[in-house]
Structure 1
Amino acid sequence: MTKTVKVNHETQILKLATLSRLLLLTLTILWRALLSPYDTSASLNPDCLADPGAPQHSRNNPISSAIENGVVWDSVYFVRIAQCGYEYEQSFAFLPLLPLCIRLLSHTVLAPLVSVFGYRAVLALSGYVVSNVAFLLAAVYFYRLSVMILKDPEVALRASILFCFNPASIFYSSIYSESLYALFSVGGLYYLMSGANNIAVICLAVSSCARSNGVVNAGYFCFQTMYWAYDALFVKKRGYLAMQILICGALRCVCIFIPFIAFQVYGYHNLCLGRSPEEMRPWCRARIPLLYNFIQSHYWGVGFLKYFQLKQLPNFLLASPILSLALCSIIYYVTAQPKLVYLLGFQAFKEGKDFAPVPFPLETVPQSNSASATIPEKPSSKTGNQNFRQRKQIHREGNPAVLPLEYGSSVNSGYLSVYVLPFILQLSFMVATAFFVMHVQVATRFLSASPSLYWFASYLMVSPGTGKRWGYLIWAYCTGYILLGSLLFSNFYPFT
């Protein structure tokens, strides 16, 4: 792909990401104007416990009121933490990156607006700015990562457009941590696959300051370390180098865990130390005092199979589209590349393939592979005829979910490439967690930052015979959830 095409595509993605945010903002304002909120407590703002004299909000103008009325659901916690710090035990369920960004912006760039709109309104406005700007940057990084993995700019562009209008879009435009998490997780993966491991470690560590599932990103470094250690020990026959790689990989994984662990230590210091045994909360006396797990279980009833109740059936239905798409993407990859999955990608070593371990700095693929590093190779006449016959046979058998076989049937490019394998493994873990452990309706936004979902949907939309039908269905799903989400969420009705 030429540099001009890449710049043009990135510009297009940036414009579409901006358009999608403006669309969400317009819909939110429209629904709030037309409907009355289910819960009218959004404007309540009691004094901070630690500092009752801290600056409060002002409701002397309609703009200030409109901004503050938009602080709903988890946004209440993020704004409150930015204003007053961590006052209550349950507030420690919300990690500090977004509140820190909100506080920093409200005390610097947006500080002059405090005298006009009031402190709380400026905090809320800062939250909106942080989330929406982070989303724009995340969309650009998503495109760059997609091009690097799939090696097809058109497929990457289509997947990135889907990301810009994803079904959880309302959360990426609200005072939620999804945008910051997407920025640092997708950005970190881009740098990881580019070979910039130190930058990748920093980005992925910061992602674990935004959302707790950021620690799962350490799995990518585990995958990388596994490959590099295998290459050093069994291919290069250098045991000392393999040991160095293992130690370095372990340290990088620890770095990604450190922010989350440090936050748990901070909670333990604030809520447990200096208290008598009678005053201590149950988690303080645990062998491993994990505040986050206790809060999720005690206040929100999160736990293995705890959500499997008949009354929660509507929530399972609400999450069924994203879970179905995720399961289809996983099943398709596993059934198309069973040997690759079973051997965790070591098939390349065992068969002597000419490609580098994964994840690998893809920008430095050997010159012999330079052609395949940009655009997938055109299949030979024999291969093309064989693929045509296979597609024709599958179409005759009525399989609606087949992807074009020329799209990534090799280990070096496309959705079925070995480079997608770690993304599939991570998505599998997150799907299982969302379905069996979490409040299942949260799956829509929990899985929305998973790149492989959009890669699969992008290929599915151009699948032979039924691609247009799948395209309509996918876009109808995204459109429906954007409209439904902006309507329900903005008026304090349950959504996800």
Structure 2
Amino acid sequence: MVAFIANRRSSLQIAVFSRLLVFFLQLIANVAPDHKADAFNPDQHGAIGYEDWLVRSAVDGFHKWDAKYIIYISEHGSAYTESLFAFLVFKGLLAVSNKDLAKSSMWFVLSAFARSNGIINIGFIAYFGLCGMLLNYQANPKILTIVKWICKLLFLCLMPLLPFIVVNLHGYIVYCTHYLWKLSCLEAPKWCCDNPPSIYNHIQKNNWGLGLFEYYTLRKVPNFLLATPTVVICVYGTLVYMKIRSHEIVYLGLPFFITEKHKTDQLSLMYTTRNIFCYAVHTVFLVMFALLFMHVEVVTRMIMSSTPFPYWIAASLIFQDLHSSDVKISLFSFKHLNFKSKVVVLYFLSYLLLGTILHVNFLPWT
């Protein structure tokens, strides 16, 4: 208990320190003139009084790239952030790990309101619900038991779809019904007559230019390099997991198929000592979808706000080195890490420092 409290206090200190570091770093870096990026950059309203000017000046470094969209949207209706999305997703995943599917569904509903890709988390409810249903059936083999579980799962899986449906319905009512009341589909926006009509799909394709291999152009190569470290961490972690726990691929990670002979040894990376098959599959899906369909430079923040898997990989590498050397985690632990772990630590540090400076000055880093 004492160790837990100490680790929690240490984590809190690191969290506070890192945020203060980013704040002062953006404050200093923002002194340099902004790069003239080919990006959304609407005119801003003038400051209202000295206090408003002071606040704007203090946090202007954060007001670049996607923050421009977020602020603009918030001034004209609503807003979203990866930080809020990550909080809601991780709370949902924590509830799943505690076998509280109802609470996890609630958190995933809220995450889907923050970002549409929150609906992907339905897979966690379905998977862990299936595991619970089969284990429950083994203890109580009655058809009625299965029927109750299926009804419960269907309800909990459908709930996170509500935000997506509500947003599309709202868009349809605002932009389409006026024309369709006149039975004039030709005058209405094209997407209004799609089957089914979806303003989300329309915006993704026509405003963001998303689609299969749509982003694969020579001028986008630097953005692929930007996404490479996160992709490498996820791919490496997945391959290691598949090698050590290959039996789970055959049995889809269902716990009652796992036997004693499949246990891992003490030299294994920490995350491979647990059955996290569903998390690995989820991460692989996110990486593949992002690389094939999305603006690839957002892979890092999309992955890091959607799954704990890459954090488990990085933490397991560092823990293994320090544990084998019997060294406590501190700022002076770096020299005890092997090459692989040092690369991971340097990547995260460079992302924090270099990424903040580049982002603040409107250089390509999102």
Instruction: Decide whether the 8 Å contact of 1:42 with 1:68 is kept in 2.
Output: no
User: Which consecutive residues of structure 1, in runs of 5 or more, have no partner in the other structure?
Assistant: 47-55, 86-95, 100-175, 354-378, 388-403, 409-413
Instruction: Decide whether the 8 Å contact of 1:181 with 1:207 is kept in 2.
Output: yes
Instruction: Decide whether the 8 Å contact of 1:232 with 1:239 is kept in 2.
Output: no
Instruction: Decide whether the 8 Å contact of 2:113 with 2:163 is kept in 1.
Output: yes
The alpha carbon displacement at 1:68 in A equals 7.3
Q: For residue 127 of structure 2, what is the amino acid of its counterpart?
A: F
Pick one of 236, 240, 246 that aligns with 2:140.
236
Q: For residue 340 of structure 1, what is the amino acid of its counterpart?
A: E
Task: Give the equivalent residue in structure 1 for 2:232.
Answer: 324
Task: Give the equivalent residue in structure 1 for 2:215.
Answer: 307
The alpha carbon displacement at 1:7 in A equals 2.5
Is the aligned partner of 1:79 residue 2:71?
A: yes
Task: Give the equivalent residue in structure 1 for 2:197.
Answer: 289
Pick one of 106, 110, 123 that aligns with 1:202.
106
The alpha carbon displacement at 1:406 in A equals 4.9
User: Relative to 1, partners in 2 of residues 1:280 and 1:240: Cα closer, same or farther, differing over 3 Å?
Assistant: same
Task: Give the equivalent residue in structure 2 for 1:451.
Answer: 308
Pick one of 347, 352, 358 that aligns with 1:482.
352
The alpha carbon displacement at 1:325 in A equals 0.5
Once the two structures are superposed, residues 164-211 of structure 1 have per-residue CA deviations (whole angstroms, 9 ceiling, x without a partner) of xxxxxxxxxxxx611101111101111221233332221111111111
User: Relative to 1, partners in 2 of residues 1:277 and 1:469: Cα closer, same or farther, differing over 3 Å?
Assistant: same
Secondary structure at the residue paired with 2:85? helix
Is the aligned partner of 1:14 residue 2:6?
A: no
The TM-score with structure 2 as length reference comes to: 0.85
The alpha carbon displacement at 1:236 in A equals 3.1
Q: How many residues align?
A: 343
2:13 and 2:360 map into 1 onto residues whose CA distance is 24
Task: Give the equivalent residue in structure 2 for 1:63.
Answer: 54
The alpha carbon displacement at 1:234 in A equals 5.0
Secondary structure at the residue paired with 1:24? helix
Is the aligned partner of 1:429 residue 2:293?
A: no
Secondary structure at the residue paired with 1:34? coil
Q: For residue 17 of structure 1, what is the amino acid of its counterpart?
A: A
Give the CA RMSD over aligned residues.
2.7
Instruction: Decide whether the 8 Å contact of 2:41 with 2:68 is kept in 1.
Output: yes
User: Relative to 1, partners in 2 of residues 1:310 and 1:235: Cα closer, same or farther, differing over 3 Å?
Assistant: farther
Is the aligned partner of 1:279 residue 2:187?
A: yes
The TM-score with structure 1 as length reference comes to: 0.64
Is the aligned partner of 1:254 residue 2:158?
A: yes
2:257 and 2:40 map into 1 onto residues whose CA distance is 62
User: Relative to 1, partners in 2 of residues 1:297 and 1:42: Cα closer, same or farther, differing over 3 Å?
Assistant: closer
Q: Which sits farther off after the overlay, 447-456 or 466-475?
A: 466-475
Structure-to-structure mapping, 1:414-425, within 5 angstroms: 414-418=271-275, 420-425=276-281
Task: Give the equivalent residue in structure 2 for 1:158.
Answer: none
Secondary structure at the residue paired with 1:489? helix
1:83 and 1:305 map into 2 onto residues whose CA distance is 33
Secondary structure at the residue paired with 1:447? helix
Task: Give the equivalent residue in structure 2 for 1:349.
Answer: 256
1:283 and 1:468 map into 2 onto residues whose CA distance is 54
Pick one of 26, 31, 51 that aligns with 1:33.
31
The alpha carbon displacement at 1:74 in A equals 2.2
User: Relative to 1, partners in 2 of residues 1:217 and 1:304: Cα closer, same or farther, differing over 3 Å?
Assistant: same
Instruction: Decide whether the 8 Å contact of 1:333 with 1:416 is kept in 2.
Output: no
Is the aligned partner of 1:472 residue 2:342?
A: yes
Structure-to-structure mapping, 1:35-54, within 5 angstroms: 35-38=33-36, 44-45=43-44
Identical columns (%): 25
Q: For residue 249 of structure 1, what is the amino acid of its counterpart?
A: L
Q: For residue 7 of structure 2, what is the amino acid of its counterpart?
A: H
User: Relative to 1, partners in 2 of residues 1:252 and 1:41: Cα closer, same or farther, differing over 3 Å?
Assistant: closer
The alpha carbon displacement at 1:324 in A equals 0.6
